[in-house]
Structure 1
Amino acid sequence: MTTSQHSKSRSGDTRDKTGVYVYGVVPADVEVQKNAKGVGDPPAKVDVIREGDVAALVSSIPTDNPLGRPEDLQAHAKLLDGTAKVAPVLPLRFGAVMTDADSVAEELLRGHHDEFASALEALEGHAEYIIKGRFNEKAFLSQLLEENTDAARLRDDIQSKPGEASRNSQMVLGELIANVIEQQRQVRTNAVAQELNGVAVQLNPREPTHEWDAVHLALLAEVDRQADLE
């Protein structure tokens, strides 16, 4: 019995309550590690749905429990990053959910089989690398307060008033800091991406996983170029 047939025989009473979350497309010979964890709380089991030469990494999830927690995004990225270390993978955007295993096999895999197979073959000999960097919080704030007069003024106002009286200034300063972090994150990401232009075949900025992240990039490069990244 195939995976899709197995799903079909059981889906009668769960079709309206569960969906199939799709992480990405891989070669059909990829196996999932037993300790692999998917999205959701608790983390969903990760399975493989195969169709010809390609397959999809998936999890069965309840549709009445929306995804979107930072932990879900991290689980999605971690699974794809781990897979990319051992096999080519075509990632799907976070949040891709299909009706059931049949729809994954027929609509996604069978409907785009040759396209996926060709793309995966082109990725052979390449690997995904993750580049992360984080601001030094103490040094960042010290420089900000020294160079930004608005931040310094708000800091002084907060220090001169009791806690509740300075709440508004605290909120404004917090927002100012967050905005500057985002601006500097973009600057650092662009600078690193520029340096990697000659090495990376593909570059994908990732969402920050921590408020002090300075750079979070996923890049695809030839395995033979690994030394150029070190």
Structure 2
Amino acid sequence: MPEVTGVYVYGIVPGDVEADPEARGVGGDSASVTVVHHGRIAAMVSELDLDRPLGTPADLLSHETLLDATAAVVPVLPVRFGAVLTHRQAVVDELLAPHHDEFDAALRELEGKAQYVISARYVRDSVLREVIAADPQISRLREAIRDKPEDATRNERIALGQAVNTAIDARRQADTQAVAEAVAPVAEGVITREPAGEYEAAAVAVLADLDREQELVRKVEELAERRSGQLEVRLLGPLAPYDFVTALRPGE
């Protein structure tokens, strides 16, 4: 049977952008990335074998890697993972032409900008010591179960866990706000994310000018130094502006 192919769409870029001949997308070495132009905008695409399963971790990584590498050079509007159209003309007819002016305006707003993410995680032993020392109820519950069998102190252990989680949640709200305020002076926009794990202190997405990246790095380094021993802080980026642009889906 002949191979059935479609056109996988990654993102929308300005119309003067040309594809990097070395760029590869979903599907590995055979997935050469090209550009479909229309007016002042264009779409980054590659051919996709529709008989292969789509949605593996490698596919998602390829999608994000291409978008993030693009965002470091030119503005890009991410298209939602898994967007496949029947052929290149369909990319124009169903995606670029109907939304040309809207996409063009959005790309102009993003010119010279990219997303960064500040991730802060509590140092587990440190935060537990702090919440225990700060709350007499937690201290009493901890003493009540010390050196006692789990079965005999089940209720106390449940109450202790709930009290610790509540205390960490309160700290997380304050720490998220502190991270957002620390980077706000060098940001064009700041969005806070929901915590991804029990000991995540903050996840903050920042839209910033690429030429102010070193200022952002210094702000994050200063934060990490101030909270050394309490928080482990990382800066990720530049990334495509996932949090600042509604992910596009062809046909919507």
Secondary structure, counterpart of 1:216 in structure 2: strand
Larger radius of gyration: 2
Distance 2:62 2:70 in 1: 11
Question: Is the 8 Å Cα contact of residues 25 and 91 (structure 1) preserved in structure 2?
Answer: yes
Distance 2:97 2:106 in 1: 15
Query: What's the CA shift for 1:219?
Result: 1.0
Higher relative contact order (CA closer than 8 Å, sequence separation 6+): 2
Q: Which residue of 2 aligns with 1:54?
A: 42
Give the counterpart of 1:216 among 196, 199, 203.
Answer: 203
Distance 2:63 2:175 in 1: 21
Q: Which residue of 1 aligns with 2:186?
A: 199
Q: 1:204 to 1:91 in 2, by over 3 A?
A: farther
Amino acid at match of 1:168: N
Give the counterpart of 2:128 among 104, 124, 141.
Answer: 141
Query: What's the CA shift for 1:117?
Result: 2.1
Question: Is the 8 Å Cα contact of residues 126 and 221 (structure 1) preserved in structure 2?
Answer: yes
Q: Which residue of 1 aligns with 2:6?
A: 7
Query: What's the CA shift for 1:147?
Result: 1.0
Task: Say if 2:118 is the partner of 1:118.
Answer: no
Query: What's the CA shift for 1:86?
Result: 3.6
Give the counterpart of 2:137 among 143, 150, 165.
Answer: 150
Give the counterpart of 2:146 among 159, 164, 183.
Answer: 159
Distance 1:23 1:129 in 2: 19
CA RMSD of aligned residues (A): 4.2
Amino acid at match of 2:209: E
Distance 1:125 1:172 in 2: 50
Normalising by the residue count of structure 2, what TM-score does the alignment of the two structures yield? 0.58
Runs of 5+ consecutive residues of structure 2 not aligned to the other structure: 219-252
Secondary structure, counterpart of 1:7 in structure 2: strand
Count of aligned pairs between the two proteins: 199
Distance 1:218 1:125 in 2: 17
Amino acid at match of 1:7: G
